[in-house]
Amino acid sequence: MFKIHYFASVREKLGSSEESLDASENIKTVADLTAVLAARGGSWALLEEDGEVLVAVDQAVAGRDHELNGHEEIAFFPPMTGG
């Protein structure tokens, strides 16, 4: 089971702050997970926009090729800016 969190503008666009998703055999990487979520249509497609939305797996920023085992905590958030 994946525990998924959505932060900041990603949360606002999706209208959701968190959810749990059953792990499936088809979800092997972060890219697979984002494809499943983006298939919901509408605003969910933004999750596949690499560079526009960052991903953390178990509280560490991860690439789209990061392998998943089905028991991770995953967060989607916009790039951070400083000033």
Q: What is the pLDDT of residue 71?
A: 94
pTM for this prediction: 0.92
* Structural domains for the chain: 2-77 (3.10.20.30)
Q: What is the pLDDT of residue 25?
A: 81
3-state secondary structure 21-75: ECCCCCCCEHHHHHHHHHCCCHHHHHHHCECCEEEEECCEEECCCCECCCCCEEE
Q: For each successive 10 residues of the chain (83 residues), what is the average pLDDT?
A: 97 97 92 96 91 94 96 94 63
